Each structure stands twice: as C-alpha cells, then as structure tokens.
Amino acid sequence: MTSTALSPDEYQAAIRRNQTWNFVVNLADLSFFHLAVSFIYGSTVLSLYTSHLTTSALLIGLIPAIQNVGYFLPQL
C-alpha cells in the first residue's frame, strides 16, 4: 500500500502555494453574498409585499421593528 500523506514541508508548501488564491476567492464569495443579501433583505421584501396587501403605513412601518424583535427577543 502506498502512502499519499504529505510531509510537513510539502504540506506547508501546498498551503503557501494556494493561500493567495483561497483568500481572493473567499473574499469574492463573501462580497457577492453580502451584495445579494442587500437586494433581498427581509424588511425590504416584506414591506413591499405588505404594501400590496394594505395601505396602512403603520403596518408597513412595523415590519422592520417586528423583524428586530424576532431577532433579539429569544436572547432575553
């Protein structure tokens, strides 16, 4: 049976060789994720949906507050 394990020096060389690529790809992934989340932020979508169901400015304005209460209340 042949061993495919790398020696410590080979392992460190592989890490150094891929470090820049991994950093750039992870940074791009995180950037695009946050960009996408900003377009579909819950209070924006729910407010738009609620505005089609009712004309009450109070209900539409409560959407972000209800979202924050739902996020922070379970921690109490």
For residues 45 and 76, membership in a common domain is answered with yes
Digit-coded pLDDT (tens) for 21-60: 999 999 999 999 999 888 877 777 888 899 999 999 999 9
In this structure, is residue 1 part of a structural domain? no
What is the secondary structure of the chain as a DSSP string?
----PPPHHHHHHHHHHHHHHHHHHHHHHHHHHHHHHHHT-HHHHHHHHHHHH---HHHHHHHHHHHHHHHHGGG-
For residues 44 and 61, membership in a common domain is answered with yes
Closest residue by Cα to residue 59 from 76, 73, 47, 42: 47
For residue 1, pLDDT beyond 60: no
Q: How many domains does the chain have?
A: 2
pTM of the model: 0.50
In this structure, is residue 67 part of a structural domain? yes
In this structure, is residue 2 part of a structural domain? no
Domain of residue 44: give its range.
40-76
In this prediction, residue 76 carries a pLDDT of 64
- Residue 63, number of CB atoms within 10 A of its CB: 19
In this structure, is residue 34 part of a structural domain? yes
